[in-house]
Structure 1
Amino acid sequence: MHQEVIFCSDEVSRGLLAVLYFNCVKYSERKFYILPLCTYKVLIFYISVLIQTLFLLLAILVYYEDFLLFIYFSELRHTKEMFLRYMLYRNST
């Protein structure tokens, strides 16, 4: 199997992971291209996605009870009304 390393352009490094994959990793019958981490911009993109994921998990942990109640109430018909009633009751006590 023949391997060659190609490098990404700046446009690709600014894209999403799927765009990055399809633009940088190319497969044909005779050649197989492997993509290393292209530039520092790709690393910055990966780090920013990781930080956003950590903030989302932190928010879910902090508001865990409200998050579960929102999921519970979202399965009922009068979601908005019941959830607002609960929040008003909770804030008044």
Structure 2
Amino acid sequence: MNTRGLEFRVSAAAVVAVLTGFLLGISGVVRADGSEEVRPVTEPVGEATRDWLQVQRGGEQASPTTQGLPEAARTRALGRYLESFEHPIPETYFPRDSFGTR
């Protein structure tokens, strides 16, 4: 059974659902009776992101414990990374003729 088309359709449906939710969040909520509830933005756009970035830059909430991987895990990760250079980067990741076919 060819599942590539099914996976693409599921992914496309997920993207549509997320975009629809995003657009409804921007424009307001449409109720079943057709009336629209507009929700005002409570803080300037991007303010929360700037606050989180400042927390990360400042390091006030950083852990005092140094975090890292055990030596064996670091060695395996580095090996996988170095092996990735042994294969050429493909021009495309999917055959171009596979889109739009069932």
Normalised by the length of structure 2, the TM-score is 0.29
Normalised by the length of structure 1, the TM-score is 0.31
Higher fraction of helix:
1
| Greater relative contact order (Cα < 8 A, sep 6+) | 1
